[in-house]
Structure 1
Amino acid sequence: MKILAMDSTATAASVALMEDGCLLGEFYMNVKLTHSQTLLPMAEQLLACTQVALQDIGLFAVSAGPGSFTGVRIGVSAVKGLALAQSKPCVGVSTLEAMAYNAGQLDGIACCLMDARCGQVYGALFEVGGGRVTRLTEDAALPAEEMACLCRKQKKQIFLVGDGAQMCYNKTEFKAFTPFLLEEPLRQQHASGVAKAAAAAFARGQAVAAAELLPLYLRLPQAERELRHRQTGEKG
């Protein structure tokens, strides 16, 4: 089965085409153009370069969050539209889980981190090895210091992945257990990881129709958080 996967949850954007575990092609851009300008053109060019027709795609996949609210919406909307037009199933996967596949061939714990602003990270831990990824903690929005506490409880080597990895690597709390920082561009989100996570989700029967695909937000958008804070004094 051919899987067309997209990621637009952070600054970088990418599109990948995978068939039965083999990566046929991937386009990756880390520029300051909006994802609405780059995502679908990359998908179109990738299909043209691999000589695969859109109707031959068996599953559409997207990193559905956490991440930039605008980026998540763009990616989910693009995949919903493509899947609906082709009457094909789709899968929304955790951005953090997809990133864990960047370290899938290593032996240890992938600490997947995204900069959530406001002094927080989106983070989760996964055990990796031999291409396999096993979730250890649920996706959460939390202070980087709390993520470091979760890491210190692990007995294996910690590998930092994601656009929040460098920030955390520089913190004293993380240096205490000498984590390994993945190099660029492997550190960033990749649609190939989305495709691998989607294949696993499809095997578990988690594919949905286009109308059922939803973004995975871990907290309210900033505008809603600020409104709630003004109205109730609560911090979102």
Structure 2
Amino acid sequence: MKLLTIDTSTSTCSVALTIDQRLAGEYLLQLDRTLTNRLLSCVDTLLSDAGIRTCDLDGFAVALGPGSFTGVRVGVATVKGLALAADKPVVGFSSLAMLAGNLPWSSYTVCPMFDARKKEVYAGAYRCNEVPLPLAADCVLPPADFLKQIIGPAIFVGEGAEKYRDLITSSKGADAFFAPWNVHQPRASAGALLAADLFTKGKTIPLAELNPIYIRPSEAELAKLHRHP
């Protein structure tokens, strides 16, 4: 199966091309504010270098969030457009599960964390065998509240773990472990493993139902609620 996987849920843009159980290529770039203009360029470069055309692909996959509202929206919209043009199926997966996938076969609980701003984190708790399995639903909370839910040793990974390292250490003590710096960025290749599992189980998503998972309402939605209580 030729699969293109895209993640834009953080300031890191990641695109992976997998063929059956082989990583044919991956493009990872810290894009920040230039995301919209550069994402399709990343896709074109990766496919061109691999000698693959969009019509040759068997499917697409995308990280649905949580994460940057703009980033997740751009990634989902891009995959919708590509899948519609190529008439190929699509699957979506949790951005936090993808990040947890950087630490397969960990004997400890893996806690991926993104900085959600407003003194909160997007966070989850996973058992990471070959494919990460959630131990609880992904959430957005103040980091101290999230840490109260984690029992026993855990590995913390992601930009949120880096930002709140001192708090995690003071809260968890000897039960706190931190992933090395080279795995703190989410990678589309880890998402491709989740995607392949979803395709195998037949869990494709109709394009009309492929939507971001923000967990918390956007600023625009909050403003609307305040205007119309």
Same fold by TM-score, threshold 0.5 exceeded? Answer: yes
Displacement of 1:45 after TM fit? Answer: 0.5
Residues 145, 173 of structure 1: 8 Å contact kept: no
AA paired with 2:209? E
The aligned runs of 1:120-131 (5 Å cut-off) are: 120-129=120-129, 131=130
Residue 135 of structure 2 is matched in structure 1 by 136
Residue 166 of structure 2 is matched in structure 1 by 170
Residues 157, 179 of structure 2: 8 Å contact kept: yes
Residue 150 of structure 1 is matched in structure 2 by 149
1:151-182 CA distance string (max 9 Å, x none): 2x13xx41112221112322155442442222
Question: Structure 2 length normalisation: TM-score?
Answer: 0.92
Question: Structure 1 length normalisation: TM-score?
Answer: 0.90
Determine the C-alpha separation between the residues in 1 that align with 2:46 and 2:172.
40
Residues 4, 57 of structure 2: 8 Å contact kept: yes
Residue 185 of structure 1 is matched in structure 2 by 182
Residues 63, 191 of structure 2: 8 Å contact kept: yes
Displacement of 1:2 after TM fit? Answer: 1.2
Structure 1, gaps ≥5 residues long: none
Q: Percent identity?
A: 36
Displacement of 1:204 after TM fit? Answer: 2.3
Going from structure 1 to structure 2, the CA distance change for 1:106 and 1:44 (only over 3 Å counts) comes to: same
What is the aligned residue count?
228
Displacement of 1:21 after TM fit? Answer: 2.4
Residue 66 of structure 2 is matched in structure 1 by 66
Please state if 1:223 is matched with 2:226: no
Residue 160 of structure 1 is matched in structure 2 by 156
The aligned runs of 1:1-236 (5 Å cut-off) are: 1-129=1-129, 131-151=130-150, 153-154=151-152, 157-171=153-167, 172-229=169-226, 232=229
Displacement of 1:34 after TM fit? Answer: 2.0
Displacement of 1:95 after TM fit? Answer: 0.4
Residues 92, 215 of structure 1: 8 Å contact kept: no
Determine the C-alpha separation between the residues in 2 that align with 1:104 and 1:73.
28
Structure 2, gaps ≥5 residues long: none
